[in-house]
Amino acid sequence: MASSRDSPSDRAATMYGELGNKLVQHAKRTQSLAHLPPYQTEIVRAVTREVRDLDRDVTRLLEPFEGAFNPSADPAIACALLVDHLCMRRNKRCLLAYHRVRTEKLEELCWTGVDILEQQQHMDGTQTALGPNGHSSLSPEEEEYFRQYGDLLAAYKGQWTDVDLTGTLEPPKDLFIDVRVLKDAGEIQTEYGVINLTKNSQLYVRQGDVERLIAQGFLERLT
């Protein structure tokens, strides 16, 4: 498990835009992972600090001119201003891209039915979902985003009752399948009547009826 505490070198930049680059590299890694790695709060803060520093520099450079700056008269200052401006834009792009990749991942997790908020609670038992290092996997804004997105998705799904929008996208191979019951679950109502789910019994049932039960772990597919 990677520690989310940054080393000092993460916070000091020898060049503008370096920290932004680190964020984007984190984002690249996130794209290929199945889970969401911890939110890089420190780096995000450092990048925003850099943007503020650059803005202060611009103000300082323009101060003597009192609003009447002519780039052709002072090409060196114009160059410095341009560099500051480009760096700010670059940092903004890196920040936006990092956050976007993470929210895409959150949405993907939502669609596949993973409840990341519940997982975080189980990890440490506390209500505030703080990890063992005092940092969480999600920023507070991301937690809120996930919650609201989940509500949005649930409302959307609710409009179609006989189609499960978040169900499997695998085409059905067989109409009927053999399954074994893993847990006692009483009686289940299907279009054909009632199925009795007693542990260890084997059933030959319609795939469409029991897909959900297999996903929830009540049944095990045998074929």
Q: What is the closest distance, in whole angstroms, from the C-beta atom of residue 100 to other proteins in the complex?
A: 5
CB 33 within 8 A of CB 137: no
Which residues, 81 to 140, sit near other proteins by CB under 8 A? Answer: 82-83, 86-87, 90, 93-94, 96-97, 100-101, 104, 107-108, 111
Q: Dihedrals φ, ψ of 57, to 5°?
A: -65, -40
Minimum CB distance to other proteins, residue 27 (Å):
5
Choose between 20 and 38: whose C-beta lies nearer to other proteins: 20
Using the Cα atoms of residue 124, residue 127, residue 131 and residue 136 in order, give the sign of their dihedral.
positive
Buried b (16+ CB within 10 A) or exposed e, 121-132: eeeeeeeebebe
One of 5, 9, 11, 28 touching other proteins (CB under 8 A):
28
Residues 164-193, interacting with other proteins (CB under 8 A): 164-165, 167, 169-173, 175-176, 191
Using the contact rule CB under 8 A, the part of the chain among 25-33, 117-125, 130-138, 180-188 near other proteins is: 25-33
CB of 40 within 8 A of CB of 23?
Answer: yes
Binding residue for other proteins, selected from 25, 41, 202, 216, defined by CB under 8 A: 25
Cβ atoms 45, 22 nearer than 8 A:
no
H/E element, 197: strand 193-197
Residue in this structure with the two tokens 């920290």, named with its chain if needed: 19
Q: How far is the CB of 86 from other proteins (least distance, A)?
A: 5
Stretch that binds other proteins, among 3-11, 70-78, 120-128, 213-221 (CB under 8 A): 70-78
Long-range contact list for 71-80, CB < 8 A, 24+ apart? Answer: none
Residue 45 binds other proteins (CB under 8 A): no
E-strand ranges in 99-154 read: none
Under the rule (CB under 8 A), what is the footprint of other proteins? 14-17, 21, 24-25, 27-28, 31, 72, 75-76, 78-80, 82-83, 86-87, 90, 93-94, 96-97, 100-101, 104, 107-108, 111, 160, 162-165, 167, 169-173, 175-176, 191, 206-208, 223
